[in-house]
Amino acid sequence: MKRAILFDLGGTLVHYFGRSEIREVLGEAIGEVQEYLHQQGLLHVLAEEAWERAIEEGHEASDHRVRPLEQRLMHIFRLDERACSDALLEAMCRCFVGPIFERARRYDDTLPILQRLRSEGYEIAIVSNTAWGSPAEPWREEIARHGLDGLVDAAVFCRDVGWRKPAPQIFAYTLEKLGVGPEECIFIGDDPRWDFLGPRSVGIAAVLLDRAGTLQDVTEDRVRDLYEFYDDLAVAGL
């Protein structure tokens, strides 16, 4: 019997943006940080240079270690780490994620399914990477804003661990928090590498959520919405 259900956040419980919108969202995020630094009298680079540096910073580490947003922004805007207070760095990060959060839309099936699973005694966790290695705290607030905080037992973000999915460390950390073994869990998310192959590599059963019907390469354990996922759980007696 499965005791715990692990959910990805973006693309699974809440929609933020699609792949085709990444460049647009990044431009908005960098623009918000740029405006904030201008207001603080700390903007020392032209918009064109900031954008070029943002494109350079738009990659993740090959070993899946987190590249913190604060360090990326200091590089983009040529800020001296010694001159950056914690308050300044936090404000910059919140400016960056603001446009992402403004686009958010909770999926219609999110609350009903989480409530059903909760009522049936499953332990529930959210396990998510954050955009550009942004800090976890704004994302915890985001979970609360969508009414999900009271329906989950744990919310684990890559910044909590220092490793991004599909690295095994983030899954191990979550299992330890819940006090369950990998064989007692099911993971559901929308990214084949992060949310399907990642958990399976550490012994966690995984289901791929394909809301748009575009992930045809995975023919097994693929569902179109959370209702179908719930029905499959019931049929399997899990």
For the chain, the structural domain boundaries read: 4-16+105-236, 19-102
pLDDT mean across residues, the chain: 95
Total count of residues recorded for the chain: 238
State the pairing for strand pair 14-15/105-106. antiparallel
Q: How much is the pTM? A: 0.94
pLDDT at 238 > cutoff 90:
no
Q: Does domain 4-16+105-236 have CATH number 3.40.50.300?
A: no
With the CA atoms of 231, 148, 130 and 182 taken in that order, what torsion angle do they form, in degrees rounded to the nearest 10?
Answer: -50
In which residue are the tokens 């943002």 written? 54
With the CA atoms of 16, 46, 50 and 98 taken in that order, what torsion angle do they form, in degrees rounded to the nearest 10?
Answer: -30
11-63: pLDDT as tens digits: 999 999 998 999 999 999 999 999 999 999 999 999 999 999 999 999 999 99
* Cα-only R_g, the chain: 19
